[in-house]
Amino acid sequence: MPHLTLEFTRNLSGFDAQEALLHMNKAIFGSGHFDEVDIKSRAIPIDCFVIGTSPENRGFIHARLAIMSNRPPAVRQALSTMLLQELSGLVPEHPGLHVQICVEIIEIERDTYSKNVLEAS
């Protein structure tokens, strides 16, 4: 824990999802709330999407960070703000394209989360 999922529309040319994941993992680790080896992230490019009702040029990036429950609201807010700033700095300019960047922090119930670590031999 935590799990970071980054969804982004493919029309964001020049956006390097692999680089974004690495930067965001470093920021998450730098927050001091998580062990480095426990941060798992993935990026999902979106081909089919609609934003609003207009056919205008639009795109988005949505980061969802799933963390164990019972973290104080101030910690969750700080993580959200930090990730939004980090992500905003990684998106190349796209003149004529309306881009929305969002971060969502969700909680996973500790009582129902299971994990097993298999060490390399």
Cβ contact 76:115 at 8 Å = no
117 inside domain: no
Regions of the chain where pLDDT drops below 70 = none
For 22, the 3-state DSSP assignment is helix
Q: What is the pLDDT of residue 120?
A: 79
86 inside domain: yes
Cβ contact 90:19 at 8 Å = yes
119 inside domain: no
Task: Count structural domains, the chain.
Answer: 1
Integer Cα distance of 31 and 74 in angstroms: 13
39 inside domain: yes
* CATH number, domain with residue 62: 3.30.429.10
Q: What is the pLDDT of residue 117?
A: 84
Cβ contact 69:106 at 8 Å = no
Question: What does the pLDDT look like over 95-114, one tens digit per residue?
Answer: 889 999 999 999 998 888 88
118 inside domain: no
120 inside domain: no
Q: Which single residue is written with the structure tokens 């390399």?
A: 120
* Sign, CA torsion 20/25/45/78: negative
Closest CA to 82 of 94, 58, 65, 57: 65
78 inside domain: yes
Question: What does the pLDDT look like over 58-72, one tens digit per residue?
Answer: 999 999 999 999 999
Q: What is the pLDDT of residue 116?
A: 86
User: Could you list the residue range(s) of the whole structural domain that residue 71 is in?
Assistant: 3-112
Radius of gyration over alpha carbons of the chain, in Å? Answer: 16
